[in-house]
Chains A and B, each alone.
Chain A
Amino acid sequence: MNNLLIWPVIMPLIAGLIFILFRNHIRLQRIISLIVMVLVSGISIIIIGQIKNNGIQTLQLGGWQAPYGIGLVGDMFSMLLVLTSSIVSLCCLLFSFKTIGQGREKHYFYSLFLFLITGVNGSFLTGDLFNLYVFFEILLLASYVLVSLGGGKLQLRETMKYVIINVLSSAFFLIGIAYIYSLTGTLNLAHISVRIAEAGQDGFITTVALLFLLVFGIKAGLFLFYWLPGSYQVPPAAISALFAALLTKVGIYAIIRMFTLVFYHEPEITHTMIGVLAALTMILGGIGAIGYWDISRILTYNVIIGSGFILAGLATFTSFGLLGTVYYLVHDMITKALIFLIAGVIIYLTGTRNIKEMSGLIRNHPYLGWMFFIAALALIGIPPLSGFIGKVFITRGSFEAEYYWLGAIGLITSLMILYSLMKIFMNVFWGETILSEDEEKGSTKGLILPLVLLTALTIALGIGPEWIHSYVEIAVDGLMDPEVYIEAVFAGNDIP
């Protein structure tokens, strides 16, 4: 039992609720939300230390022991993601202070932001399938409002698509939960894992597994991503960066959790399927990224490529592949937030999304240009930046598992990312400076700090992977061996 685990979930919740009571105190809301995000990051670091020393931490809510109660389980994998998402959302929050505008701030922007974090952290931490659904709904409800807040015509159109596709996938999620409950008689993830291991994963359970793959695949932007580019580009930069960094990652987390803890008995079917979907996602995302001249669209297609690449690591189902997955997941959250925020600044400065209408920004904004360059190199996977180590491990894992085609597609899409990002870099930053500083639509004042923070993190992750390697290794050991997770949840009690 470790009560610290509940804080990353309820601290944003409490703050968000208080903001509803004090709707017009914007300054207070800004300060409190910053403090909350800093505290959540600090608490995650403490919990990570505890996991390293004492193994997986659990909290059985209300004192009801597993499998009867509903518990939180913090293993290294989920806590690394909680920590990364807290830092990333801290940066998005800093960025939003200057850019989000008073209208949104008065309409509960900070409450919704923190509710979204509640949902994200809850999904990472919960040890119960139905609670996973509940936390998914919390983050989705907050994201529905965040996408539509401000209510331009374009925004409302994309919100409709986003809401409909997500309601549909949530319905499938519930159906899947019902199947699982009728098959195993439990919703505790560890208990489901035990029951399925006892009874064997027959064809029916594998079908249910594929249903879950469909559900989480929609949320993760895996293959069924057609809703994603639209709805991620309409909200303001701070929100779309948050979405790009966190929302698809929650879906990816759920896929990784389900297919390493519960449905790991038939990898020839399920994991091959994930591999095929990941390959298709990477190819289609790559084509999208190459084809467009709209900066937000190019970047949203990069989100899709990222999802495909991360899940390629899971598909190999080797410890190298999963090591790469964890590294790349952490890297992708940080770098995607960074590059979306930079794109936000670019759009803010030039007042257009079309990269053909931009030129020569580097003369007036050298820092912006170089940070974009660093983020781009990190996304492509150039050493010594953060994307490199993840790419190496995932590629090695795919060759080890003899998925040569998957590794090859991963490398080819890296070239596609290279082309799409260099296209942005050359068009936006090189060339003749057509905008003098007076003609710019906005200023970068106060926006550089979060960008510098994220850039520093990208470089630090790339230069010093050995600092976090022992943590990532613990995470991967936990993923490869479900017994560890199950033992921690039941804590020596009899498994009924």
Chain B
Amino acid sequence: MKPEPNDVILHTVTKIASIIIFTFSIDLFWAGHHYPGGGFIGGLTTAAGIVLLYLSFDIEKIRKNLPIDYKKMAALGVLISVFTGLVGMIYGDNFLEQAFGYFNLPVFGKTELATAVLFDIGVALAVIGTAVTIITSISEDEL
């Protein structure tokens, strides 16, 4: 039995930092359409936040609080992306054809909405799922 580690500082910093990381990753995700960012690096930053949680708390505790099967998450992500590609075909366009339009939304004012965001959500989920799966399966050897 290992002695209880004294990691108050690590835990406190992680709690604050992970919130910042998750917020930043969402910002990166939304920036994606016109500025640097998007599903891939948004997902990667989120995965980094999750891995930070795994590192400072133990894996069991995080699994209890975030009961997600990351393998399924990755599969679901790719499925979402493929299916958004198929939507264009229903309207007689090419596979992966995207559409966008400008809408007047109550809070945001004139906003551009694009179907590419749906594709990006799929990419983000796939990246989070894959990255976390890889890191947890590497770390499992030592458990």
A contact residues vs B (CB 8 Å cutoff): 1, 3, 6, 10, 13-14, 17-18, 20-21, 59-63
Inter-chain CA distance A60–B98, complex, in Å, is: 13
Contact pattern, B 59-97, Cβ under 8 Å of A = 1, otherwise 0: 000000000000110111011001101101100011111
A3 touches B94 (CB 8 A): yes
Q: 20 A-B pairs, CB-CB below 8 angstroms? A: A3-B89, A13-B78, A14-B79, A17-B75, A17-B76, A17-B78, A17-B82, A18-B75, A18-B79, A20-B72, A20-B74, A20-B75, A21-B72, A21-B76, A21-B79, A61-B96, A62-B88, A62-B97, A63-B94, A63-B97
Listed from nearest, the 8 A-B pairs whose CB atoms lie closest are A20-B75, A62-B96, A6-B95, A17-B75, A61-B96, A63-B97, A63-B94, A17-B79
Closest chain B residue to A60 by CB distance?
Answer: B94
Closest chain A residue to B94 by CB distance?
Answer: A63
Specify which chain B residues have a CB less than 8 angstroms from the CB of A59 in the assembled complex.
Answer: 94-95
Knowing A17-B75, A20-B71, A21-B72 are in contact, say whether A3-B82 is a contact too (CB < 8 A): no
A61 touches B94 (CB 8 A): yes
- Give the contacting residue for A14; candidates B72, B82, B88, B89; CB below 8 A: B82
Query: What's the dominant secondary structure at chain A's contact region?
Result: helix
Inter-chain CA distance A18–B80, complex, in Å, is: 11
Specify which chain A residues have a CB less than 8 angstroms from the CB of B85 in the assembled complex.
Answer: 10
Specify which chain B residues have a CB less than 8 angstroms from the CB of A62 in the assembled complex.
Answer: 88, 94-98
A13 touches B75 (CB 8 A): no
Interface size class of B (residues with CB under 8 A): 10 to 19
Specify which chain A residues have a CB less than 8 angstroms from the CB of B88 in the assembled complex.
Answer: 62
Query: What's the dominant secondary structure at chain B's contact region?
Result: helix
Inter-chain CA distance A492–B32, complex, in Å, is: 34
Specify which chain B residues have a CB less than 8 angstroms from the CB of A3 in the assembled complex.
Answer: 89, 94-95
B contact residues vs A (CB 8 Å cutoff): 71-72, 74-76, 78-79, 82-83, 85-86, 88-89, 93-98
Closest chain A residue to B129 by CB distance?
Answer: A20
Closest chain B residue to A72 by CB distance?
Answer: B95
B75 touches A1 (CB 8 A): no
Closest chain B residue to A61 by CB distance?
Answer: B96
B94 touches A1 (CB 8 A): yes
| Nearest CB of A to B102, in Å | 20
Specify which chain B residues have a CB less than 8 angstroms from the CB of A6 in the assembled complex.
Answer: 89, 95
Specify which chain A residues have a CB less than 8 angstroms from the CB of B95 in the assembled complex.
Answer: 3, 6, 10, 59, 61-62
Specify which chain A residues have a CB less than 8 angstroms from the CB of B78 in the assembled complex.
Answer: 13, 17
B94 touches A10 (CB 8 A): no
Specify which chain B residues have a CB less than 8 angstroms from the CB of A60 in the assembled complex.
Answer: 94
Apart from A17-B75, A62-B95, A62-B98: 9 A-B pairs, beta carbons within 8 A? A18-B79, A20-B74, A21-B72, A21-B75, A21-B79, A60-B94, A62-B88, A62-B97, A63-B94
| Nearest CB of B to A62, in Å | 4
| Nearest CB of B to A471, in Å | 25
Closest chain A residue to B95 by CB distance?
Answer: A6
B93 touches A63 (CB 8 A): yes
Specify which chain A residues have a CB less than 8 angstroms from the CB of B89 in the assembled complex.
Answer: 3, 6
Inter-chain CA distance A6–B83, complex, in Å, is: 12
Specify which chain A residues have a CB less than 8 angstroms from the CB of B86 in the assembled complex.
Answer: 10
| Nearest CB of A to B131, in Å | 16
B72 touches A10 (CB 8 A): no
| Nearest CB of A to B27, in Å | 26
Inter-chain CA distance A59–B93, complex, in Å, is: 10
| Nearest CB of B to A14, in Å | 6
Specify which chain B residues have a CB less than 8 angstroms from the CB of A13 in the assembled complex.
Answer: 78, 82
Inter-chain CA distance A252–B123, complex, in Å, is: 32
Closest chain B residue to A2 by CB distance?
Answer: B94
Inter-chain CA distance A21–B76, complex, in Å, is: 8
Closest chain A residue to B75 by CB distance?
Answer: A20
Inter-chain CA distance A313–B85, complex, in Å, is: 39
Inter-chain CA distance A10–B83, complex, in Å, is: 10
| Nearest CB of A to B87, in Å | 12
| Nearest CB of B to A330, in Å | 27
Inter-chain CA distance A17–B88, complex, in Å, is: 21
| Nearest CB of B to A73, in Å | 14
- The interface centre, meaning the residue of A1, A6, A20 with most chain B CB atoms within 10 A of its CB, is A20
| Nearest CB of A to B73, in Å | 10
Specify which chain A residues have a CB less than 8 angstroms from the CB of B97 in the assembled complex.
Answer: 62-63
| Nearest CB of A to B142, in Å | 20
B82 touches A10 (CB 8 A): yes
| Nearest CB of B to A121, in Å | 14
Specify which chain A residues have a CB less than 8 angstroms from the CB of B75 in the assembled complex.
Answer: 17-18, 20-21
Inter-chain CA distance A21–B71, complex, in Å, is: 9
Specify which chain A residues have a CB less than 8 angstroms from the CB of B71 in the assembled complex.
Answer: 20
| Nearest CB of A to B116, in Å | 10
Inter-chain CA distance A60–B79, complex, in Å, is: 21
| Nearest CB of B to A15, in Å | 10
Inter-chain CA distance A10–B97, complex, in Å, is: 15
Inter-chain CA distance A60–B83, complex, in Å, is: 17
Inter-chain CA distance A433–B57, complex, in Å, is: 65
Specify which chain A residues have a CB less than 8 angstroms from the CB of B93 in the assembled complex.
Answer: 63
Specify which chain A residues have a CB less than 8 angstroms from the CB of B79 in the assembled complex.
Answer: 14, 17-18, 21
Closest chain A residue to B98 by CB distance?
Answer: A62
| Nearest CB of B to A107, in Å | 11
